A = this chain, B = another copy of it.
Amino acid sequence: MKLALLTVLATVGAVTVNPLPQPQSIEWLNENAIVFNPCANLQLNIDNELVEKNLNRVLNSVLETKYYPQAIEKPISSYQPFPTGTVKRGNGAIDSITITIENSSIPLQLGADESYNLTIDNNAINIDSVSTWGSIQALKTLQQLVVYEKGQFFIEGSVRIEDHPNYPHRGVMLDSARNFLSVKKIKEQIDIMSLVKLNVLHWHITDTQLWPLQLESIPGMIEGAYLEREQYSKNDVEDIINYAYERGIRVIPEIDMPGHSRAGYINVNEDVLACQHSWWSNDDYSLHTAVEPPASQLDILNNETYLMVEKIYNEVSGLFQDDVFHVGADELQANCYNYSQLFVDWIKANLSRTYRDLSQYWIDHSIPIFRKIPNRRLMMWEDILTTPEAAFTIPQDVILQSWSDYLRGSNNIKKLTSKGFDVVVSLNNYLYLDCGYGGFVTNDPRYLDSPQNDEFNTGNGGSWCNPYKTWQRIYDFDFTTNLTDSEQKHILGAEAALWSEQVDNTVLTQKLWPRLAALAESVWSGNRDSNGNYRTNWLSQRIFNFREWLVALGYDALPLVPKYCLQNPHACDLYLNQTVYNDYT
């Protein structure tokens, strides 16, 4: 075990850079550095406009950033001063880039081939891929291979990379419905996502607090927007989708229904809502109507609800090109419907009815509306099949997003995949990036210094999913634990989520990055080496450098360690024993 680990380190230690995510296979053919001049008259052999655009972006970025890693990986046991890396220079200089794409018409959709081969040798860069999207991923690898030192851009040696993702769905969920996120800031996240080969932006656009999306079919929906400038026009949405598309990233919209619905509707037709004027009652939890203020959900039994749902779904479906549409369905609060006369009467009419029947009513009446738009798969939060109020049955092709389990609790993942549902993993205890910042609700006396508050103030401190999820926690997450082979085939991938109760433009970038890069690698090429050992500690140096690279690129990514730890690899390890991870596996 130990020998194998050291071998890996030695191989990689030979050169300075290491792409993140780690490619499936990378073989340095020699260490004769090859000059790479991004502004030279390179011979480009590319017949694909989108790939050419990506190449130009890569070249410009390399040219502007002039990056050289601050400290490379080094062996563990030595505490000698860390030697400054000196790049060996060969005589070669890149003079051509050839990109060959088997089929440029493969659309950017779930499961599109993203594999590529990248070879740099004989002064030439050769990329070949099945689809456009594979070549774009290759260029992101290339961008991480070029370093700058003493006035020249280099690739450190001849290299051959064969690469492909482990999972087709690799993403992050952004929430623009608690606080607004500007188009500019969303694009910034797309830029960084593309650097680490994430390919899905799940956009939670609406919620009880805010409906920031302008709709032509229901203009009144936007009336409750926080500010005039905090709205998304049709052009804004297209802008974001196109920006992401050009970088090989899909945008999946989420209109959260029938829970998490208030803003917008309340300005247009209050009748489609239940409990929208109730106190949310977490001070009397037995009566609570919402998980957070303000309370409100769609009134499932009102026919008018479905008229609005159809208008909304049709218009938003037209805005987004992706084959997948997320319709929410999480955290339905049963108590809310005690405020609905329709519900009270419906129960009285047949006393055998339960909240589960109400959920089923929603499924039976909303799905046919959604189905009218052809060639589109629905995605929902797992709640629709896992909570005490769950529906009895939903269509088999719905993709379910699993978030609510706790420790080693792939129970829902197993339960759903064993029933044949495709699942995207977003377990909060690993992948919710907003955890650990305390609570946002006011008039909360639990922060007082009082014996009855001790557990709270030494415990979660107001953040229900406390503690904060570190990059190591994210990377160590084995989300297929205990799954059979056939169940594993139903895992489409994973998504981190950043709920925005305490997030807006000011802190968006640093709450995502560089942590999200740990997930990006885990879903691209896994979190273990070829011997099955965790490679977490080998990611340390790469993710610390990645963070410095982001800062060099102009992104306010969070520092993970004292810079001392970056400059002195493994000096900040908790265990000197480098195989300590093996004891846990």
Give the interface of A toward B (CB within 8 A). 79, 178-180, 209-210, 226, 230, 263, 277, 279, 281-283, 292-294, 406-408, 429, 436-454, 457-463, 466-470, 472-473, 476-478, 481, 500-504, 506-507, 510, 534, 536-537, 540, 551, 556-565, 567-568, 570-578, 580-581, 583-585
Contacts and interface: CB of A to CB of B under 8 A. Distances in A.
A407 B179 contact: no
A408 B454 CA distance: 9
B478 A436 contact: no
B501 A562 contact: yes
A443 B210 CA distance: 42
Contact of A470 (B226, B443, B461, B503): B461
A466 B470 contact: no
Most buried by B among A294, A500, A570: A294
Contact of A540 (B443, B560, B564): B443
19 contacts: A179-B563, A210-B563, A283-B580, A293-B571, A436-B436, A438-B473, A441-B573, A442-B472, A445-B476, A445-B534, A447-B472, A448-B476, A459-B459, A460-B467, A461-B468, A461-B469, A506-B557, A507-B556, A510-B510
A91 B250 CA distance: 58
Given A447-B470, A476-B449, A293 B510 contact: no
Contact of A573 (B407, B442, B477, B537): B442
Given A457-B407, A477-B449, A468 B470 contact: no
Given A407-B458, A468-B461, A576 B283 contact: yes
Given A442-B574, A510-B510, A584-B450, A564 B503 contact: no
Given A473-B457, A506-B551, A510-B510, A562 B443 contact: no
B210 A470 contact: no
A502 to B, nearest CB: 6
Contacts of A210: 562-564
How many copies of this chain does the complex contain? Answer: 2
In terms of DSSP, what is the predominant structure of the interface of chain A?
loop
Contact of A293 (B450, B463, B503, B572): B572
Most buried by B among A292, A451, A457, A468: A468
Nearest to A452: B584
B562 A209 contact: yes
Given A179-B559, A557-B506, A443 B570 contact: yes
Contacts of A458: 406-407, 429, 467
Contacts of A506: 510, 551, 556-559
Nearest to A500: B562
Closest 7 CB pairs of A and B: A461-B467, A438-B470, A443-B573, A209-B564, A178-B562, A447-B473, A283-B575
A446 B575 CA distance: 11
Contacts of A503: 559
A560 B572 CA distance: 32
Given A283-B580, A406-B458, A436-B437, 7 more contacts: A293-B564, A438-B470, A439-B574, A441-B572, A443-B574, A449-B478, A457-B467
A429 B457 contact: yes
A294 B569 CA distance: 12
A559 B576 CA distance: 39
Contacts of A571: 293-294
B575 A448 contact: no
Contact of A466 (B440, B444, B467, B504): B467
Contact of A574 (B209, B283, B585): B283
A412 to B, nearest CB: 15
A231 to B, nearest CB: 13
Contacts of A504: 559, 563
A468 B581 contact: no
Given A436-B437, A540-B443, A470 B462 contact: yes
Q: Which of A451, A462, A573 has the most CB of B within 10 A?
A: A573
B436 A537 contact: no
Nearest to A444: B574
Contacts of A277: 79
A387 to B, nearest CB: 21
A570 B442 contact: yes
A448 B559 contact: no
Contact of A444 (B472, B500, B510): B472
Contacts of A581: 443, 445, 448
Contacts of A293: 564-565, 571-573
B473 A461 contact: yes
B572 A442 contact: yes
A467 B454 contact: no
Contacts of A561: 440, 442, 501-502
A519 B445 CA distance: 17
